[in-house]
Structure 1
């Protein structure tokens, strides 16, 4: 088995890697590192999540001298990837105290100008900002020895071809060039022909491309049911961290807001956000303050967070390469991951194309029922209880158990405690997903039963009656003009009344008021809690909607 020392890395760097928990190189690292150490140009086909950053960063650290001049340049398609690569190089090279400077749009350029003026050995940047500094004269390539194009295919897809050409033409002829790309379309191959010298091409095996540690499944749903299906899957899977991919920025914002309204710790990430907002969202996601990140493809490109357990394709990717990029956000660092895709009946063909190109069978699953969700929650609670039972600090609680034992049977006491923990009321568990497409073999029987069940009433009427029986609507005297967000209302209800966020229904933010659905059984409890709290520094007045003078 190959070790980092056998690849030719210095003892100091091997020791640093060991301290970071890196025991052995990945396949792409084992192939690329010796070539780059030897000064060869390299074209590497490698998906994100295979360890490609270390594959070029480790040789770069070894070849850079102590002189505070720009000796290495890494070009990346997005700000997020540029920051992550810079952090990785700094982490790997901490035994040398390397100066690594990320430069990208959205950050004050004055800070970057100071960093370049003070001297740095490695620059990691996006093409647009790097070219801007070259034109200003604040970045010079007089001593440049190594250039890396990270995710070259994505940079070209994003329209950076002219910027890449302009930058590469300004680099020294004798430089070393490495290009890393998940795919090698003709545009990337043409780039390598013009700007590399006798390159060696390396790649990981095709069967490794889609990461066998990722369990890939799909659900077939109607477009109108996707949000309900997403919530059901999140409740059933209980992901540690999940990324939900959408096609558009507007859709990402909409889904993020609606998930917040249903009590999920979710936020959106897309290109329209300011850099400060993007940094804030990413920090919260990394620190576990968010459970769900709703993102567009470009915004999530290059995210390297090992704890992401689930990737959910709210929309089917438009091409197999995008699918590979998306699911590569999970199953990282040797962990297992789950990739779930929602498709509508019209999208079956695209799914078949993805399966054929990636040579992977994506398993069809049936949408989990409310009973499945309840069973999953109970199973998780059993695991938590077993862990808690091993905690020696239970003396205070055993005293309470002894007190309760005098008032009733211990089995009844335990059952009541579990019911409170799970917050279940089985009489209120109504399936809110109006329809999910069954397999073709099941469709005729189900359609007949639906027609019979809803005649003469429509299915929408039936659902409305169900909601009316189980949920009521409360009106709050604060709205959009008061800067109220769905997350504020969910937080107030959950914190003040104890009602869990997942039990809260739809939230509608109006100009001067807001309306929220809560379970009928908890309505008075929520009303009392809201009427003794404040939102955004203003006193809340909440009433049952039937009693309210409705305001727009």
Structure 2
């Protein structure tokens, strides 16, 4: 079966699929569609994210559904609101020309009364998250007595999120005569137990096993000490311009910290994790899909259901414990036939974990060197020309007479001047900054294994200890650990004074400059509304304290004090 037209699907379904641009089925679709159309057995299908599972189970069921009946015949359970909405949207697209077919999505984080009202349209298809489906069962708003097909999508993720009891309750509410299809990326013990208890002699289909990873993804890893990781991340982002990426973190706290760091450094980034309200999550995901932001920092669970085909990079800020999760994450890039890059930031003491991932997945992960400032600027120049030579629409018109006389410049001189303007802030930031590994690794990570244990303990307790966090990432609560070689300063100017990061860098450089002196190392810069914080190498503490009060910024007096 190389073409959808070679299936036995109805003309209405084929017409809808054709308009969506589908021509050849994916491997999971090639095996699953004929099975569901012709077999009454239950099914276990193992396939990675992004392999076309929704079409694999929904197209044949849509072909067989009774559109004259107003009872629920087809139920899909999935772990997250985002995936629920995506599946419902896909099914509605596939059934576009099936006038009598209705699909309703039910999920938490939205008005249950509105969803109850939508069920009065008597849909034949329900797509839902386990918790909300249970709520609706308890309110007698859902009747599953006539179900013919039940799909458990992302079953492993539903179980890992603690939905075991909900799944068993829902399954007990459905007739034994139904056909059950379990779709999962992994076959762990809990998934195996569910399948033994609720599936009858299931047929198995396995597509894209863990050892059959995508060949069009380049895998790299970079070694950075714990205190270096954010700076290393910044360099990886800056040396890969024009990227559209997801950065994966282990915990909600770490996700927000990394997103805060990137936003404070001027990147179009945002966070996606479980501590956000549903409205905030929807806003972030919409911005990312529309490319209003080009970097999404997310936990593994929060990123479920985010279906984006044009990601250029996946960055593992923290390695996952499960090698299969590493494959899942990486597989979000390199879709739709495009090449992708997966980059992992690892601490020196995580080499064993990386070796386990390489052994389990058979992925060749090549070590890269964290870029120097010179390498970053070189990459950025290439990125400017990549953008320049790409095809662009004419978004506006202007009179060529507005272009000044440029005859005094050669084309090289003109390009040089334009690049100096375009890349000024990056150039100032990276000027005289040395190789991160040589500069910091030996002095900061001799106690690597001890710090790794401390980091793990901190990760376990972070959500208990975290302070309140505002929508834009401003923090209150326990102070983060500081670099012992740095001094953190309070600075009396902030956003209201039109202060930018580049301004702070120039102020610090001016305050710490002197004949024969090396340039001061500068750490985190955090610009808040009415004041700011910055970190400077300890040996330049007196220079900062004595020189900044004698300087002015846009006519305003400046004051710097050592922060508590």
TM range (shorter): 0.7 to 0.9
Moved more, 265-274 or 182-191: 182-191
Q: Distance in 2 between matches of 1:378 and 1:492?
A: 19
**Match of residue 278, structure 1, among 275, 278, 281:** 281
Q: Distance in 2 between matches of 1:147 and 1:15?
A: 25
Q: Distance in 1 between matches of 2:400 and 2:313?
A: 36
1:340 aligns with 2:354: no
Q: Deviations along 1:261-319, whole A, 9 cap, x unmatched?
A: 00011111111111111111101111001111111111112321112221111111011
1:218/1:128 Cα in 2 relative to 1: closer, same or farther (>3 Å)?
Answer: same
1:17/1:327 Cα in 2 relative to 1: closer, same or farther (>3 Å)?
Answer: same
- Does the 8 A contact of 2:104 with 2:123 survive in 1? yes
Q: Deviations along 1:59-86, whole A, 9 cap, x unmatched?
A: 2222222233221111111122111111
Query: What SS does structure 2 have at the residue aligned with 1:91?
Result: helix
- Does the 8 A contact of 1:262 with 1:505 survive in 2? no
Structure 1 residue 511: deviation in Å? 8.7
1:83 aligns with 2:85: yes
- What is the aligned partner in structure 1 of residue 170 from structure 2? 167
- What is the aligned partner in structure 1 of residue 548 from structure 2? none
Q: Distance in 2 between matches of 1:392 and 1:301?
A: 35
Moved more, 58-67 or 129-138: 58-67
Q: Distance in 2 between matches of 1:328 and 1:427?
A: 36
- Does the 8 A contact of 1:214 with 1:336 survive in 2? yes
Moved more, 345-354 or 37-46: 37-46
Moved more, 133-142 or 58-67: 58-67
**Match of residue 73, structure 1, among 72, 75, 86:** 75
Q: Deviations along 1:197-216, whole A, 9 cap, x unmatched?
A: 33210111436743222211
Structure 1 residue 389: deviation in Å? 10
1:188 aligns with 2:202: no
Q: How does 1:47-62 map to 2 (within 5 A)?
A: 47-62=48-63
Q: Distance in 1 between matches of 2:120 and 2:44?
A: 32
**Match of residue 249, structure 2, among 246, 266, 283:** 246
TM-score normalised by structure 1 residue count: 0.80
- Does the 8 A contact of 1:474 with 1:517 survive in 2? no
- Does the 8 A contact of 1:242 with 1:293 survive in 2? yes
Q: Deviations along 1:213-268, whole A, 9 cap, x unmatched?
A: 22111111101001001111111112532111111111111111111100011111
- Does the 8 A contact of 2:373 with 2:433 survive in 1? no
- What is the aligned partner in structure 2 of residue 94 from structure 1? 96
Q: Deviations along 1:344-390, whole A, 9 cap, x unmatched?
A: 11111111111111121211111122222212121122233334799
Q: Distance in 2 between matches of 1:92 and 1:489?
A: 52
- What is the aligned partner in structure 1 of residue 17 from structure 2? 17
Which consecutive residues of structure 2, in runs of 5 or more, have no partner in the other structure? Answer: 447-482, 505-521, 537-543, 545-551
**Match of residue 122, structure 1, among 110, 118, 125:** 125
- What is the aligned partner in structure 1 of residue 65 from structure 2? 64
1:300 aligns with 2:303: yes
Query: What SS does structure 1 have at the residue aligned with 2:120?
Result: helix
Q: Distance in 2 between matches of 1:302 and 1:271?
A: 14
- What is the aligned partner in structure 2 of residue 499 from structure 1? none
Query: What SS does structure 1 have at the residue aligned with 2:307?
Result: coil
Q: Distance in 2 between matches of 1:425 and 1:322?
A: 34
Query: What SS does structure 2 have at the residue aligned with 1:124?
Result: strand
Query: What SS does structure 2 have at the residue aligned with 1:263?
Result: coil
Query: What SS does structure 1 have at the residue aligned with 2:271?
Result: strand
1:544 aligns with 2:547: no
Q: Deviations along 1:441-461, whole A, 9 cap, x unmatched?
A: xx89xx9xxxxxxxxxxxx89
Q: How does 1:45-444 map to 2 (within 5 A)?
A: 45-66=46-67, 67-97=69-99, 98-206=101-209, 209-387=212-390, 396-397=399-400, 400=403, 403-405=405-407, 407-423=408-424, 429-430=430-431, 435-436=436-437
- What is the aligned partner in structure 2 of residue 38 from structure 1? 38
1:133/1:435 Cα in 2 relative to 1: closer, same or farther (>3 Å)?
Answer: same
1:235/1:435 Cα in 2 relative to 1: closer, same or farther (>3 Å)?
Answer: closer
1:410/1:338 Cα in 2 relative to 1: closer, same or farther (>3 Å)?
Answer: closer
1:53/1:437 Cα in 2 relative to 1: closer, same or farther (>3 Å)?
Answer: farther
Q: Distance in 1 between matches of 2:75 and 2:22?
A: 24
Query: What SS does structure 2 have at the residue aligned with 1:179?
Result: strand
Q: How does 1:445-460 map to 2 (within 5 A)?
A: none
Q: Distance in 1 between matches of 2:434 and 2:201?
A: 58
- Does the 8 A contact of 2:495 with 2:527 survive in 1? no
Structure 1 residue 117: deviation in Å? 2.1
Structure 1 residue 434: deviation in Å? 7.4
Question: How many residues are matched?
Answer: 491
Q: Distance in 1 between matches of 2:342 and 2:409?
A: 47
Q: Distance in 2 between matches of 1:392 and 1:76?
A: 41
Q: Distance in 1 between matches of 2:125 and 2:354?
A: 41
1:493/1:93 Cα in 2 relative to 1: closer, same or farther (>3 Å)?
Answer: farther
**Match of residue 526, structure 2, among 487, 493, 508:** 508
Moved more, 123-132 or 218-227: 123-132
Q: Distance in 1 between matches of 2:213 and 2:559?
A: 51
1:389/1:194 Cα in 2 relative to 1: closer, same or farther (>3 Å)?
Answer: closer
Query: What SS does structure 2 have at the residue aligned with 1:74?
Result: strand
Query: What SS does structure 2 have at the residue aligned with 1:95?
Result: coil
